[in-house]
Amino acid sequence: MNLMQNLRTYINNKWTMLVKKDKCEICSVEENLEVHHEIQFIELLNSTLELLKLDYKEDTNSYSSEELEKIKLVLLGKHLNIKGVTLCQSCHDNEHIINKLFKRLKKMDQAKYYDNDILLINNKLKQIENKKLFDSNKEDLVKFLSESIYNCIKIRNGYSTVKIKTINEFFIQHNIQYELKSRKESIRRDEDYYRKRYWMVCKI
């Protein structure tokens, strides 16, 4: 049996009956009622399979009975944590059209923000090009990158733990024509000299 069909039937019998109201929540029609998922069914299924470390297989026979039971229980649990909206068939169709349009607009908006982020990053790197970046300057750069809208650098244990390699990999991935290099400089303190490491932003 088809996996999607099997799971939709299971969810309809368990969850839909719990959340379905007696009229459309938009137009108040009382016929041809359906339950609209706040989160798409396929997204809930994908996250269920990911949680269980299982691959998607079209045929239910490709899963053991234990695996299929786990999929159903986890998927039902995810449904119980989301809101189901009761809609008539017409309003339900319109809702999906609106959602598709919204997602398309959201992607366009994200692309615009992404381009803006890359422009800001390039401008920042141009300002500090060939300058010596010691401790506080390093942290300023990492903080700037981590707080960009695109959120390009992930911080786990403080700014000072971010490696040059991580930043340079991001530059390469997004075709940013700069490279961070690590260098040392001899600094005199009292009568002694010591070597201090710094970063330098270099144009490729």
123 found inside a domain: no
Q: Token pair for residue 188?
A: 């005199």
Shared domain for 94 and 176, answered yes or no, is no
122 found inside a domain: no
86 found inside a domain: yes
Shared domain for 70 and 144, answered yes or no, is no
Over range 110-121, report the average pLDDT.
78
Shared domain for 188 and 148, answered yes or no, is yes
Is 154 buried (19+), middle (13-18) or exposed (0-12) by CB count in 10 A? Answer: exposed
101 found inside a domain: yes
Shared domain for 103 and 178, answered yes or no, is no
Shared domain for 142 and 194, answered yes or no, is yes
DSSP one-letter code for 158: -
Q: How confident is the model at residue 155 (pLDDT cuts 50, 70, 90)?
A: low
Shared domain for 84 and 165, answered yes or no, is no
Q: How confident is the model at residue 105 (pLDDT cuts 50, 70, 90)?
A: low
Shared domain for 97 and 168, answered yes or no, is no
User: Rounded mean pLDDT of the chain?
Assistant: 85
Q: How confident is the model at residue 27 (pLDDT cuts 50, 70, 90)?
A: very high
Which residue among 80, 108, 136 closes a domain? 108
pLDDT of the residue at 153: 63
What's the rounded Cα separation, in Å, for the pair 39 and 78?
A: 10
Highest mean pLDDT among 31-40, 100-109, 182-191: 31-40
pLDDT of the residue at 157: 62
The radius of gyration of the chain from alpha carbons, rounded to an integer in Å, stands at 27
* 204 closest CA partner among 166, 175, 177: 177
Say what the alpha-carbon torsion angle 87, 76, 106, 89 is, to the nearest 10 degrees: -20
pLDDT of the residue at 53: 93
pLDDT of the residue at 200: 93
What residues contact residue 13 under an 8 Å CB cut-off, 6+ apart?
none
Greater pLDDT, 151 or 4: 4
Over range 119-131, report the average pLDDT.
90
Shared domain for 199 and 103, answered yes or no, is no
Each residue of 50-76: pLDDT tens digit? 999 999 998 999 999 999 999 999 999
Which residue among 57, 78, 108 closes a domain? 108
Q: How confident is the model at residue 109 (pLDDT cuts 50, 70, 90)?
A: low
Shared domain for 39 and 104, answered yes or no, is yes
- pTM of structure: 0.47
pLDDT of the residue at 187: 74
Count of structural domains, the chain = 2
Question: Which residue range is the domain that position 165 belongs to?
Answer: 128-203
Shared domain for 86 and 13, answered yes or no, is yes
117 found inside a domain: no
Over range 19-24, report the average pLDDT.
92
114 found inside a domain: no
Shared domain for 8 and 103, answered yes or no, is yes
116 found inside a domain: no
Q: Token pair for residue 95?
A: 């809702």
55 found inside a domain: yes
Over range 82-98, report the average pLDDT.
87
Region for 197 from its dihedrals, namely left if φ exceeds 0, alpha if ψ lies in -120 to 50, beta otherwise: beta
Shared domain for 158 and 69, answered yes or no, is no
What's the rounded Cα separation, in Å, for the pair 54 and 18?
A: 28
- Asked if the model's pLDDT at residue 191 lies above 90, the reply is no
